[in-house]
Amino acid sequence: MLSRRSLLPCIGLLALTASCTKTVPDTRDADIKAVKAVETAWVADIATKDADKFASYYADDASLLMPNAPIINGRDNIVAALKPMLADPNFALTFQATRAGASKGGDFVYTVGTYSLTVSSPTDKKPVTDEGKYLTVFKKQADGSWKAVADMINSDRPAQSERPPHKSHRPTRARKRARPR
């Protein structure tokens, strides 16, 4: 009899819990579509070479990860880092997502894609184009807009050493033996 008495409140509690639980609608497809539209607008705004407009797609606390450079944290620092690059007369950047995914909760979307970046060569100022891939994580903001919170690019070019290989000035053993004493 005791087990029946405890069973009824448990069933009631279970029913109450089920009625209070909301099912969150699956908005992943719509979220991905919205972020792809943001990326399309971003590419168009990059062509204006306006650093503030470029950085407006980043959240205030975003991180930008560029090759061979420290992480740039915060939109203001991103603007400062972008200004010299955007002032380059040969600067051009395009990118396009090849894959995207979204969180079931509707607050994060990531895109993976390819980019093409043209800048002036530091030696002869002629245009040099780099192609590679990128990963950007977007977060839905309180106003419903999507902003990049993490953005990373990675060149397809092979890594180059900053210093030429070290050449020893010491004579080899064979040359040492051949020297007259």
- pLDDT per position as a tens digit, 61-94: 999 999 889 999 999 999 999 999 999 999 999 9
Least confident of 7-16, 20-29, 165-174: 165-174
Q: How far is CA 177 from the centre of its chain?
A: 58
Number of domains in the chain: 1
The enclosing domain of 123 has a CATH number of 3.10.450.50
Residue 15 placed within a domain: no
Residue 54 placed within a domain: yes
Query: Which pLDDT score, from 0 to 100, does residue 160 have?
Result: 74
Residue 8 placed within a domain: no
Residue 151 placed within a domain: yes
91-143 residue pLDDT tens: 999 999 999 999 999 999 999 999 999 999 999 999 999 999 999 999 999 99
Tell me the backbone φ, ψ of residue 29, rounded to 5 degrees.
-65, -45
In the chain, % of residues over pLDDT 90: 71
Question: What is the 8-class DSSP label of residue 72?
Answer: E
Residue 33 placed within a domain: yes
Q: Which stretches of 53-145 are assigned E, i.e. beta strand?
A: 58-65, 72-73, 92-102, 108-120, 127-140
Q: How far apart are CA 135 and CA 132, in angstroms?
A: 11
pTM of the model: 0.76
Residue 181 placed within a domain: no
Residue range of the domain that includes 84 = 24-155
Residue 12 placed within a domain: no
Please report how many Cα atoms fall inside a 13 Å half-sphere around the Cα of residue 76, on the Cβ side: 0
Residue 171 placed within a domain: no
